[in-house]
Structure 1
Amino acid sequence: MLLYFLIIVPTLFASFLVFSYWQERKYRRKPYYKLADVGWRQNTLPPDSEKLYSLAMLGDIGAVATNGTDPVLNHFKLWQSENRGAETAVFLGDNLYPVGLPPEGHRHRAMAETRLQTILQQLQAYQTNSVFLSGNHDWNKGRPDGYQYMLRQEKYIVEALENPAGYLPPHGCPGPVTLQLAEGLLLVVINTQWWVQRGEKPLGKNYNCPYTDIEEFYLSLNDLLRKNRHQRIVIAAHHPLYSNALHGGKFTIKQHVFPLTAAHKRFLIPLPLLGSLYPFYRRYFGAYEDMSHKKYKRMRKRLLQIFHRYQNIVYIAGHDHNLQHFEKRGNHYMVSGSGSKTAFVKKGGSATFTLEQPGFIVLNYYRSGELWMEVHVVPATPAEAATGTGEVIFRKKLESVLVPQQAPV
């Protein structure tokens, strides 16, 4: 019996880990498609002449290369050149790593400004309409002084773009803020970092926010969605409501065996069994930025309660560094967070599509009222990536149920 526990059990456990790791390696950085979407390439797009509007949704762009070789920005240029005059680029938060835009004299200030200027100059060169929203890193990783970091970044971007709507919601308020992009297409921006932020966060007239109680936000959001049931509604935020990745509690086998790699990728100290405590904690209790954390969980529950009343919503976020799509109760939930970093995403579950690769999601709106999603990715090799060439790795028509607009009483 002792021999069984000392030799056979550890051997079986090690075999299980090796097999699981091998399975993960097989599908990492390869697209996963739900069975019904395996033949997506046969889907027939409306002609380009029928396209009314295009939205590029770029999340977690804050670690871009500033020497002209960034693969995502180079491919983004192609989208910019092809959609001039009827386009908006939405930056889904974490616009600057590691801590947003610090004050003058801070050791990260120079790099933060250089990265931000790289993005802003490209937008200005193509005269691209753009909206930035904030993520946890833009709020100094959610620390108590993060509000000032966010205000500093907002001021910098708004002044550079000469557009007060270039950073939304304004003043770090929860929102919702709307932009009518085309007839039948409405963009709604909300600040999900407000719910999980520690320390000072704005609410009330003293902060130029429209209400003093967060319950009024939910009432306002529901009223907005109810009045716009006749439109396609795209809701942009930083935090996803569904995810098969880190913030959704999904970890690799390597992260279970080598948990210290969460602090640094070179800390390859094996801690089997003991190492699973960290993923267990993140999955069931969570850090402030995880779905399982009580503040995040409360926000997610309230938002979904409202969204489930309607069937004309596309909710798109960043935060997890990958590309994902889910369909839930007639609505679509996406993650487009691989603008400058990539991280593990688990295949399957309730996801329709997942991929760990640099890129971004594009939403194209047509005269017929159809809304299509396209997942744009860039090559893995630096030489190919520098050319700006990329490919569409997934395309899908986003079905919706619209309620005819009623005449005002």
Structure 2
Amino acid sequence: LYPLPPLFLLFFIYSVDSSVTDSLRFLVVGDIGGIPVWETTSVQKEVARSMIARSKGIKSVINLGDNFYFTGVMSDTDPRFNTTFEDVYRETRVPWLTIAGNHDHFGNVKAQISYTEKSKLWYFPSPYYNVSYRAGNTTVDVVMLDTIDLCGNSVDVQSGKIWDVIKDAIKKKWNGEKMEPKNKKKAEEQWAWLENTLNNSKSDYLFVAGHYPVYSISSHGPTNCLVDRLIPLLKKYGVTAYFSGHDHSLQHLESDGITYIVSGAGSRSDQSTAYKERLAQQGVTTCWHYPPFSLLNILSQLGVNDGGFVELNVRKRNTTVLYFNKEGDTKYTCTLYPRWMERPMNGMGKSIDEEIGWEL
């Protein structure tokens, strides 16, 4: 469907081998896009420093979209590639597997794709793609989706204007049921590609990533389009976990054997748990959510309160998921298991704040 990226990038798509160890480490972050006034936020810079401190030995950063608030970029020479991304994350020194968020779609997503050829970090070869990794006998497939092409853009911020974005945050309203793809043929092509890609995966771990959450207890809530069409595929092909951003929080949710990880606090945070009870009634277990209540939440769009990111430490028989706040403190940890192993029923995870004396 899309032209292959340059040859020097092909190894990122098909395999990254390591003979030194059987483990693979990734960072997962979303909604890093600063704000137009400052182009970065104080939270974004703090999160970036903590990510850089954890970046030694990392294979890739999984970047979940909303890369440039509020209206994306229009060309691959836009200075915000430097001010919002390169200048902030250069010291991570690893590929950033990138997809578009809803705010990126207010601009020119093709410009973000073409910027791949200009950067040593930025990796965005096409609107959706897959990457395979191997370390010893441990294998991982990562599938990156454009959920805006699949489901449509957010109703309350159709114009992408700053006032509409602020109004959307104030209303705490999610109109997912009214969303539909702008180009239905394009959406169906991606759905077909996705099913074929999942069907072909034989890896120990299969991760799917998109900007919109399938489930989220925070302000935006679940995405009905993904609940209806993506969940059956996640179950059918034994997907290990689904990663998303969009809501500016860190979450661990479980439903029907699938793990849902929200990591959308790369430049700001939102304490909302507006959809927790509704999702509980649908059988979705909320294992953990961050940040906690703060009076500064009213300033969340300015990126002055809290933030965080996620780390995956993948091994043959289990994967440790670590949730960090902006200072780089571990706040929560849980475990994922390979697709061929039955999941043990021994608890969902550990909140570090509640496990006094527990050491990682």
TM-score by length of 2: 0.66
**AA at the equivalent of 1:179:** V
CA distance in structure 1 between the aligned counterparts of 2:320 and 2:66, rounded to whole angstroms: 25
Tell me the residue number matched to 1:351: 286
Tell me the residue number matched to 2:206: 233
Tell me the residue number matched to 1:53: 24
Distance 1:326 1:66, change over 3 A: closer
For the residue of structure 2 that corresponds to 1:184, the secondary structure is strand
2:87 to 103, 106, 118: 118
Tell me the residue number matched to 2:243: 316
1:79 counterpart = 2:54 = yes
1:167 to 120, 124, 138: 124
1:360 counterpart = 2:327 = no
**AA at the equivalent of 1:371:** T
Tell me the residue number matched to 2:349: none
Distance 1:67 1:332, change over 3 A: closer
CA positional deviation for 1:221:
2.2
CA contact (8 A) 1:312 1:330 kept: no
CA positional deviation for 1:180:
0.7
CA distance in structure 2 between the aligned counterparts of 1:213 and 1:151, rounded to whole angstroms: 15
**AA at the equivalent of 1:180:** S
Q: 88-97 or 126-135: which moved more?
A: 126-135
CA positional deviation for 1:222:
2.5
Tell me the residue number matched to 2:254: 327
1:303 counterpart = 2:234 = no
CA contact (8 A) 1:229 1:403 kept: no
Which ranges of structure 2 fall in alignment gaps of 5 or more residues?
1-19, 159-179, 292-305, 343-360
Which ranges of structure 1 fall in alignment gaps of 5 or more residues?
1-48, 141-145, 204-211, 249-290, 380-389, 405-409
Larger helix share, 1 or 2 = 1
For the residue of structure 1 that corresponds to 2:85, the secondary structure is helix
1:377 counterpart = 2:325 = yes
CA distance in structure 2 between the aligned counterparts of 1:304 and 1:69, rounded to whole angstroms: 31
Tell me the residue number matched to 2:65: 93
CA contact (8 A) 2:30 2:246 kept: yes
4+ residue runs over 4 A deviation: 66-69, 109-113, 198-203
For the residue of structure 2 that corresponds to 1:70, the secondary structure is helix
Tell me the residue number matched to 2:5: none
Tell me the residue number matched to 1:4: none
CA distance in structure 2 between the aligned counterparts of 1:104 and 1:375, rounded to whole angstroms: 32
CA distance in structure 1 between the aligned counterparts of 2:269 and 2:42, rounded to whole angstroms: 20
CA contact (8 A) 1:377 1:392 kept: yes
Percentage of matched positions with identical amino acids: 22
**Which digits, 9 at most, give the CA deviation of each residue in 1:110-130, with x for residues without a partner?**
5564213324xx33x443122
CA contact (8 A) 1:72 1:340 kept: yes
**AA at the equivalent of 1:303:** L
For the residue of structure 2 that corresponds to 1:235, the secondary structure is strand
**AA at the equivalent of 2:140:** L
CA distance in structure 2 between the aligned counterparts of 1:355 and 1:67, rounded to whole angstroms: 18
**AA at the equivalent of 1:53:** L
CA positional deviation for 1:400:
4.5
CA RMSD for the aligned pairs?
3.2
CA positional deviation for 1:234:
1.1
CA positional deviation for 1:322:
0.3
CA distance in structure 2 between the aligned counterparts of 1:353 and 1:51, rounded to whole angstroms: 29
Tell me the residue number matched to 1:288: none
1:180 counterpart = 2:132 = yes
Aligned length: 268
CA distance in structure 1 between the aligned counterparts of 2:272 and 2:41, rounded to whole angstroms: 27
**AA at the equivalent of 2:308:** G
Distance 1:230 1:185, change over 3 A: closer
CA distance in structure 2 between the aligned counterparts of 1:104 and 1:186, rounded to whole angstroms: 28
Tell me the residue number matched to 1:224: 197
CA distance in structure 1 between the aligned counterparts of 2:76 and 2:115, rounded to whole angstroms: 12
CA distance in structure 2 between the aligned counterparts of 1:228 and 1:403, rounded to whole angstroms: 16
**AA at the equivalent of 1:226:** N
CA positional deviation for 1:138:
0.9
CA positional deviation for 1:156:
2.6
2:33 to 30, 41, 62: 62
Q: 297-306 or 194-203: which moved more?
A: 194-203
CA positional deviation for 1:308:
2.1
Higher alpha-carbon Rg: 1
Tell me the residue number matched to 2:152: 196
CA distance in structure 2 between the aligned counterparts of 1:69 and 1:332, rounded to whole angstroms: 26
TM-score by length of 1: 0.58
CA contact (8 A) 2:208 2:241 kept: yes
CA positional deviation for 1:307:
1.2
CA positional deviation for 1:375:
0.2
